[in-house]
Copies of this chain bind each other. A is one copy, B any other.
Amino acid sequence: MTIAVAGLGTVGAGVIRVLDTHADLLTRRCGRELKVVAVSARDQTKDRGIVLETCEWYDDAAEMARKADAEVVIELIGGSGGIAKSVVDGALDAGRHVVTANKALLAHHGTELARAAERAGVALAYEAAVAGGIPIIKALREGLAANSFDRVYGILNGTCNYILSAMRETGRGFDEVLAEAQELGYAEADPAFDIDGVDTAHKLAILASLAFGTEVDFDSIYTEGIRHVSPLDFEFAEELGYRIKLLGIARRTPSGIEQRVHPCMVPLADPIAHIEDVFNAVVVDGDAVETTMYEGRGAGEGPTASAVVADVVDIARGRTAPAFGVPCGELTAPSPAPITQRTGRYYLRLTVVDRPGVFAEIASALKENNVSMEAIIQRGRAPGEAVEVVLTTHETRDDSVAATIDAIAESDAVLEPTRLIRIVSFG
């Protein structure tokens, strides 16, 4: 089977390395040889440690996607539009199968691309777009095809999980740990997509579409990143029996599909609380299979190449499926349930002046908004000075908590914006 590769960064070079190293093994598993016939990247002269002499070189990846004599086009350029989209559009138009690792593209244009693939009668495969080498797309679409799903959630961004793990272990602040993650190559020079939760939201949009049979609906996702998580929050989390994780959570609710990305207080009894460092994990609850969890490395050359090549093997074997599990015509339109309706428990951290009457003001803000307090902790005493007060609530609605925070902000005893972290419970 002939293959064209668009993009020869870490993952692109990794894919070519795997195809080369395991040529014999892959031929046995595919029933035919896999042959890279064309490649495209920005710089033809760069030494990537891979042999490209037998491939046709294209400076223009979109041209390659349309013209190269390849049955499969692998898109590893990235980005939600631009050249990556031209490559995928061009390949599908030309009737070539597409394999991509591009979560941003799928989050923004997934349904449209799936329709184009369906029209062309080719595969749109994207195992590498979510959770790196963990075959979670295949699990949801095929391995768990007997199930109706009510919930899928996970740690989908290794950069954030590394930062949160390191902050907890070392007690250091966000900026310092981020800088270290950048030095180690775990975070990009521009880390915004990762740390602001956008990358997690891209992946969540894909998982939700697969799980619930809905059109990809990235725009409805409530997204909050990890910039505001402070070493103090880790101290309180420890005391309260939680780990802080950035989760992507999608749920089917009576009022529609809820999709949200935000830092969570996860009880220690929950297995996902123990996924540390750059590891990813996805938890799927199916009505027949009950809870299953999948974990592994969510990024990097080897894991991502593993997923890309698995898609190629599937195509070589003729093992295809509708991109989102059912034909595009069967995907239902998005009906988002807003996060304001989410009910659950909440952790609030307030920075207030330590003086008589402050607790009464807080209590009154809670009461006005019908929010019932579970516990309150003040660390230390400093009359007249700033102190940190943490309170946790009983089950309540997200909008009630937001209103409570607004009410609290009006007190002149409150010195800093109140920080909120949602407490989750998946039992």
Which residues of chain A have a CB within 8 Å of any CB of chain B?
14, 18, 22, 25-26, 28-29, 31, 127, 132-135, 138-139, 142-148, 213, 271, 274, 286-297, 302-303, 305-310, 313-314, 317-321, 325-327, 330
Q: A331's closest neighbor in chain B, by CB?
A: B28
The 5 nearest A-B residue pairs measured at CB: A135-B143, A146-B309, A292-B296, A133-B289, A289-B306
Q: How many copies does the complex hold?
A: 2
Contact of A143 among B28, B127, B293 (CB under 8 A): B127
- In the complex, the answer to whether B290 meets A296 with C-beta atoms within 8 Å is yes
- In the complex, the answer to whether B296 meets A295 with C-beta atoms within 8 Å is no
Q: List 5 A-B contacts (CB under 8 A).
A: A138-B139, A290-B297, A294-B294, A318-B319, A319-B319
For A290, the chain B residues whose CB sits under 8 A away are 133, 296-297, 302-303
- In the complex, the answer to whether A326 meets B26 with C-beta atoms within 8 Å is no
For A142, the chain B residues whose CB sits under 8 A away are 135, 138, 310, 313-314, 319
Looking at the assembled complex, report how far the CB atom of A265 sits from the nearest CB atom of chain B, in whole angstroms: 20
Contact of A28 among B139, B296, B318, B330 (CB under 8 A): B330
Contact of A22 among B14, B134, B148, B289 (CB under 8 A): B148
Looking at the assembled complex, report how far the CB atom of A66 sits from the nearest CB atom of chain B, in whole angstroms: 27
The CA of A120 and the CA of B297, in the complex, are separated in Å by: 39
The CA of A291 and the CA of B132, in the complex, are separated in Å by: 12
Looking at the assembled complex, report how far the CB atom of A161 sits from the nearest CB atom of chain B, in whole angstroms: 14
Contact of A274 among B25, B274, B306, B326 (CB under 8 A): B274
For A308, the chain B residues whose CB sits under 8 A away are 146
The CA of A364 and the CA of B14, in the complex, are separated in Å by: 53
- In the complex, the answer to whether A29 meets B289 with C-beta atoms within 8 Å is no
For A310, the chain B residues whose CB sits under 8 A away are 142-146
The CA of A309 and the CA of B25, in the complex, are separated in Å by: 29
- In the complex, the answer to whether A302 meets B287 with C-beta atoms within 8 Å is yes
Looking at the assembled complex, report how far the CB atom of A229 sits from the nearest CB atom of chain B, in whole angstroms: 24
- In the complex, the answer to whether A288 meets B18 with C-beta atoms within 8 Å is yes
Contacts beyond the supplied A18-B288, A138-B142, A290-B303: 20 A-B pairs with Cβ under 8 Å: A25-B213, A26-B145, A28-B213, A29-B326, A133-B144, A133-B292, A135-B139, A135-B143, A138-B139, A142-B319, A145-B309, A146-B307, A274-B274, A288-B306, A288-B309, A289-B306, A293-B293, A293-B295, A317-B320, A317-B321
